[in-house]
Structure 1
Amino acid sequence: MTDAARRWRMALGPAANGPLPEPEGEAAKQDEVLTWLYQQSPSARGGGLGGTEPSRPEALHWLGRVRKLFPKSTCQRIEADALNRFRLADLLADPEVLARIEPSPATLRLLLSLRGSLPPALMALLRDTVRRVVDEITARLRPRIELALSGQRNRQVRGRLPRAADFDARRTLFGNLHRIDPDTGRLVPDRLFFHGRQRPSLPWQVILCVDQSGSMTDSVIHSAVMAAILSGLPGIHVRMVLFDTQVVDVSDRLTDPLETLMTVRLGGGTDIGAAMQYCAGLVEDPARSVLVLISDFCEGGSTRRLETQVAQLVEARVRLLGLAALDDRGDPFHDHRVAARLADLGMQIGAMTPDRLAGWLAEVMT
C-alpha cells in the first residue's frame, strides 16, 4: 500500500475497504485503535461520561497501544479527541493524560463535569490540571479587563499619555488643522492629544449573579475568572453568587477562581427570582451598584417573582445588566421572551466576551 493510500485508509476507516486494500502489519494495528475511537458507538467503546470500573482496563489498554503506534504529537491529538469529543473519562485514570492536557475552556468544562465521579486519589491531579487551565485563561484576560477598568475617562484632563485606548481623535484633528499638506491634502499632526483618566472617588459594588445550570458552563468559568480580576482592582467591591434552585454565596473565595469553580454544581433546575432576591439583599448603595445577571433566562421558578424583583431594583437605581453568554465566543442561548420582558423593565441585555463586559461595566459606572 502506498503512503497516500495508507493515509486515505486511516482517514476513511473500514468504509474504505472496497476501493482501498486492507492495511497490513503496523498500519493494521494503527487502523484498529483509530477505529475503536472514531468508528464505534460509545457503548462499544465501553466509555462515556463519568466512567465505570469495568471499562477502565479497556480504555487504558487502548491508550497504551496508541502511544506505541503513533508519534507523540499524534498521540496528543488522539487523546484530546478521546477526552473532549468522546468524553472517555476513564483516560483520566492515567496521570500522564492529566499532565498533558492542553489548557482550554473545553478541557475545563469536561474536568468540572467529571470531578464528582473520579477516584479520590486523582482529585489532587485534577486540581492541578484545572489550576493550569484557569491560570491560562486569567493571564489572557487580565490585561484587557484591567485596561478597560483602569479608570473612567475624564475628557477635561488631557495630556501626552501613551495609551492607544485614550487617543482623542477629535481633539487631535481640530488641534492640527493648520498642519494639512496642501499637495496631498493629508493631515500631518505635530501634536497628539489623549484623554486623561481619573479614579472614581467613591467605590462601586459589582454583584455577579451566575446561573450554574448545565448550558452555562462556559459562562460560569469566565465569571469566576472575571470576579477574581475585578476583586483585585481598586475602587471595586465584588460579590458573587451561584444559583440553580439554591443560592450559594462564594464571595469569600473570589481571589482564587479554582476554589470558586470547585464549588460549582453543574446542572439542576433554575430559580432566577430567588437568586435576584438574594442579590438585592447584598446591595449597599443602590446608586453605586451594578448587578450582573449571567443566565440563559430559562426561569424554572415564578416569572412574576423575577419581574417584581427586577422592577424593584430598577426603581432603587441599581444598574442591571443581563448576559445570555459570557465566554470567548459570546454566542447566546437564552429564553428570548423572558429576556425581552426584563429588558422592558429596565435591565440591559447582551451577550459578550469578558473583555467586552469590562468595557460595558466601565460605561455604566460613569
Structure 2
Amino acid sequence: MDEQTLARWRLLLGRYSEQHLQHMANLSAAQQQQMQTLDYLYNREYQRRGVVQGQGQDSGGASLDPSQLSALDWLTKSKRLFPKSTFEQMQTTALSRYGMTELMNSPKMLDQLSPSPQIAQALLGMRGRMSNEMRLAVKRLIERVVEEILQRLKPNFRQQFSGRRNRFRRSHVKQASNFDWRATIARNLKHYQQDSQQLVIHEPVFYSRVQNHLPWQVILCVDQSGSMFSSVMYAAICASILAALPAVSVKLVLFDTSVVDLSEHAHDPVEVLMTAQLGGGTNIAQALQYCQSLIETPNRTVLALISDFEEGGSVPLFLRTIQSLASQRVTLLGLAALDEQAQPVYSIDMAQRLADLGMHVAALTPEHFAKWLAEVMQ
C-alpha cells in the first residue's frame, strides 16, 4: 500500500495499531492532530468494554494521550480538522453514544457545536439534567437547527398553497413556477430568427393562480414515542408554516401513552421541541379519539397521523376510530415515520389495514408532504 493509504488505516485503527504501522505510516502534522482528536473520542469505546489503557506510543515520540485535550479544545480542533459532515457525526456520537457530559459544562461549549437534527436530539435527551443557563444555550442551538430547515421548507409550502394554476387566465406576476412555456413559444414564434436559428422571447407568458379561500382545518397527530424525534421536529416545523397561511386552522397533537395538545405553540416549533417528551409507549387510538373531538367541519378537515403505526394499545379501537373518522368524510392521511437517513420505518401490515379503511398512506419527505397536503385540500 502507498503511504497515504497506510496513514488512513492508522487513523482508522487507532492507537493500538501504532506498533504495527509506526514504521510504515508516517503521519503528517495535521494527521497527528486528527489522530489526537479521534483518540479523545473513540478510546471511550475501550473504556466501555473494560479495557485498561496505557499511555500509548507514537512514531514521533510525543504522546498522543487524549488527556492532553480539554473538551473545548477537542471541539475546536475537530471542527477545524474534519469536514462538516464528519464533525457532525463525531459530536453526535460523543453525546448520544458516549454521554460526554463535559460538552455540557458551559454555554460557550454548546455554542461550538455544529447544529444538526442529530445533535438537537441528543441535547434534548439531556435537558432534564441542565441548569437554566444551559437550557437557554440548548434552545439557541435548536433555533439554529429549526431555522435551517425552515428556510428550506417554507418556499415549497408557500408555492404549493399559493393556489392551483389557472390555464385559462394570464398573470402579470412573473414567477418561475407560473411560467407557461407552451403559450410563450406560440406567442413569440413571429420573433424566430432564421439566420441564428433562435427564438427570441419578447413576451413571456405566465399562468395566474386560483386562490382557495374556504377555510381548512389541519390536525397533525404526531407519535412522540421511541425514536420519533425527526418526525416530531419536521411536523412542528410544518405546523408553524401552515399556521402562517391564510384560511388554515392548525392543531398540533403529540402522543405516546398520553396526549399533549400543543396547538397554542403551533407557530413556534422551537417551543414544541423544548416541550416534547420523547419516549414511552404508543396509544394511537387514544390520540385519534382526542383529535376527533377537535374537528369542527369534517369535510373540510385533514387529519394527518404521523407514526410508525405500531399500536401499543387496542388495535380494534384504533381501527374503529379510523373507520368512524372516514365515515364522517374527514380526509385521513397516514405519514409513515422516517429514520435519520429518510428511510421509512413503519408497520406495513397495519398501513395496509388503514388504507383499506380509507386512509391515504405514504412515506414522504417533508418537501413532498407539502405537495400532497395541498393536493388533498384543493
- Interval containing the TM-score (normalised by the shorter chain): 0.7 to 0.9
CA distance in 2, matches of 1:60, 1:224: 42
Name the SS of the counterpart of 1:314 in structure 2.
helix
The change in CA–CA distance for 1:323 and 1:184 in structure 2 (over 3 A counts) is farther
Deviation at residue 246 of structure 1 after TM alignment: 0.7
Deviation at residue 345 of structure 1 after TM alignment: 0.9
The change in CA–CA distance for 1:38 and 1:255 in structure 2 (over 3 A counts) is same
Note the alpha carbon deviations across 1:97-118, whole angstroms, 9 max, x for none: 3102222212212122221233
Deviation at residue 180 of structure 1 after TM alignment: 8.6
**Aligned twin of 1:116:** 128
**Aligned twin of 2:263:** 251
Aligned residue type for 2:94: F
**Aligned twin of 1:63:** 71
Instruction: Please point out which of 166, 173, 179 is paired with 1:167.
Output: 179
* % identity of equivalent residues: 40
CA distance in 2, matches of 1:195, 1:11: 56
Aligned-residue Cα RMSD (Å) equals 3.7
**Aligned twin of 1:351:** 363
Deviation at residue 73 of structure 1 after TM alignment: 4.3
Deviation at residue 323 of structure 1 after TM alignment: 0.5
**Aligned twin of 1:217:** 229
2:338–2:345 contact (8 Å) kept in structure 1: no
1:211–1:295 contact (8 Å) kept in structure 2: yes
Deviation at residue 151 of structure 1 after TM alignment: 2.1
**1:140 aligns to 2:147 (yes or no):** no
Q: Give the count of matched residue pairs.
A: 354
**1:302 aligns to 2:314 (yes or no):** yes
**Aligned twin of 1:83:** 91
Aligned residue type for 1:83: Q
**Aligned twin of 2:114:** 102
Once the two structures are overlaid, the 10-residue window that deviates more, 318-327 or 13-22, is 13-22
The change in CA–CA distance for 1:280 and 1:3 in structure 2 (over 3 A counts) is closer
2:107–2:133 contact (8 Å) kept in structure 1: no
**Aligned twin of 1:18:** 20
Deviation at residue 360 of structure 1 after TM alignment: 0.9
1:339–1:349 contact (8 Å) kept in structure 2: yes
**Aligned twin of 2:59:** none
Deviation at residue 232 of structure 1 after TM alignment: 0.6
Deviation at residue 254 of structure 1 after TM alignment: 1.4
The change in CA–CA distance for 1:42 and 1:11 in structure 2 (over 3 A counts) is closer
**Aligned twin of 2:302:** 290
The change in CA–CA distance for 1:27 and 1:261 in structure 2 (over 3 A counts) is closer
Name the SS of the counterpart of 1:102 in structure 2.
coil
CA distance in 1, matches of 2:177, 2:271: 33
Deviation at residue 134 of structure 1 after TM alignment: 1.5
Name the SS of the counterpart of 1:109 in structure 2.
helix
Deviation at residue 233 of structure 1 after TM alignment: 0.8
Aligned residue type for 1:317: R
**1:151 aligns to 2:163 (yes or no):** yes
Deviation at residue 129 of structure 1 after TM alignment: 1.6
CA distance in 1, matches of 2:127, 2:171: 52
1:327–1:353 contact (8 Å) kept in structure 2: no
CA distance in 1, matches of 2:105, 2:202: 64
CA distance in 2, matches of 1:17, 1:42: 18
TM-score, L = length of structure 1: 0.82
Name the SS of the counterpart of 2:281 in structure 1.
coil
**Aligned twin of 2:10:** 9
Note the alpha carbon deviations across 1:306-333, whole angstroms, 9 max, x for none: 1111111111111111101368864210
1:33–1:62 contact (8 Å) kept in structure 2: no
**1:34 aligns to 2:38 (yes or no):** yes
The change in CA–CA distance for 1:265 and 1:311 in structure 2 (over 3 A counts) is same
1:222–1:327 contact (8 Å) kept in structure 2: no
CA distance in 2, matches of 1:36, 1:329: 27
Note the alpha carbon deviations across 1:190-213, whole angstroms, 9 max, x for none: 765433213212111111000001
CA distance in 2, matches of 1:200, 1:83: 46
Once the two structures are overlaid, the 10-residue window that deviates more, 61-70 or 335-344, is 61-70
**Aligned twin of 1:52:** none
TM-score, L = length of structure 2: 0.80
Give unmatched runs, 5+ long, in structure 1.
47-57
Aligned residue type for 1:35: D
Aligned residue type for 1:38: Y
The change in CA–CA distance for 1:289 and 1:217 in structure 2 (over 3 A counts) is same
Q: How does 1:185-264 map to 2 (within 5 A)?
A: 192-264=204-276
Once the two structures are overlaid, the 10-residue window that deviates more, 208-217 or 121-130, is 121-130
